[in-house]
Amino acid sequence: MVDLVLQALFSGLLVGSVYALVALGLALSFGAMRIINLAHGELVLLAAYCAYVVEARAGLDPYLAIPLALVVVSIVCAALFLMIDRIREHRELNSLILTFGIGIVLTNAILLVFASDVRTTASPALQDATSIGPVYAMNGEIVAFGVSLALMVALWWWLKKSWYGRAVRAVSSNRAAATLMGISPVRTELVSFLVAGALASFAGVALYTMSVVQPAVGHALTVKAFIVTVLAGVGSIPGVFLAAILLGVTEALTVTLASSALQELVGMVLFLLVLFLLPNGLFGARARRG
């Protein structure tokens, strides 16, 4: 039993790191634009299918699909932003409806092209297991964990040190004041949307190398990213990471100790508990301001 629990904790850590990478893109667009992009999971799914195409058609390593995924997802992100930017009234509500509709369109487009078959990597190097003491994991999971950590550190540096990163923080804090300081809110929001798309591209490729993908996965990823964002409280990269790990570990323990049928239910129960008990997220308003 102890070995099973340790394995569940380790698996939850690895899966949670990818949840964090997915959630960071959603949290970034929400922080900069106050818009919940309900098509974000479909962007991740689109990148995953780019990895499938590169591996299945060209016979290359899935991670070599990252440039293709970046181009495809960035084009979709730019088009989506241009549609959102045209909304002049009730932007939050109307953009929510718009992105939900775009997500459905993307899901059905992927379904038409690739059918509903389950896809995953066929690379022996990524599918082989590595033992770390009493626990083990696929090489694809370990690589995805490393990629997620590296991108989270890179995003933290970008937001803290780069000009556009500081501009994103300024616009999210006070749009009018940022405009008076010479910052273009539209350009800054577009940059944040494209960075969120880049995170989604890496997350999609990582997901394909460590799990299975199918058209229905996109909506589920959006829900998980939204849960993680609420758990963490918007604005904290370490908070998003820890909240994603908490969700991943909770799901893994549920599957191990109870039933896989309860996996999604436990995540939603955790989400509702935080909404009722800690509306500002697990780290509170002070931590989010930090």
Find all residues with CB under 8 Å of 48, minimum gap 6, and list them: 119, 204, 205, 207, 208, 213, 217
AA letter at 264: E
Which has the minimum average pLDDT: 42-56, 69-83, 133-147, 231-245?
A: 231-245
Q: Which residue has the tokens 């909770």?
A: 250
Q: Is residue 156 part of a domain?
A: yes
The tens digit of pLDDT for each residue in 26-68 reads: 888 877 677 788 999 999 999 999 999 999 988 899 999 999 9
Asked, for residue 223, whether it belongs to a domain, the answer is: yes
**Amino acid at the residue 6:** L
**Does residue 128 lie within any of the structural domains?**
no
CATH number (domain holding residue 227) = 1.10.3470
* Residue 100, burial from CB neighbour count under 10 angstroms (0-12, 13-18, 19+): middle
- Rounded distance between C-alpha atoms, residue 243 and residue 152, angstroms: 14
Evaluate whether residue 282 is within a structural domain.
Answer: yes
**Residue whose token pair is 């494209």:** 194
Structural domain boundaries, residue 243:
2-123+135-289
What tens digit of pLDDT does each residue of 107-156 get? 999 999 998 889 999 888 888 988 888 888 889 899 999 999 999 999 98
Question: Averaging pLDDT over each range in 127-136, 189-198, 270-279, which range is the top one?
Answer: 189-198
**Residue 32 belongs to a domain:** yes
The region, left, alpha or beta by phi > 0 then psi within -120 to 50, assigned to residue 60 is: beta
User: Does residue 130 lie in a domain region?
Assistant: no
> 129 lies in a domain?
no
Total of domains in the chain: 1
DSSP state, residue 133: T
- Helix 185-210 with 40-58: angle, nearest 10 deg: 50
Q: Is residue 31 part of a domain?
A: yes
Buried-state track 63-80, b at ≥16 Cβ within 10 A, e below 16: bebbebbbebbbebbeeb
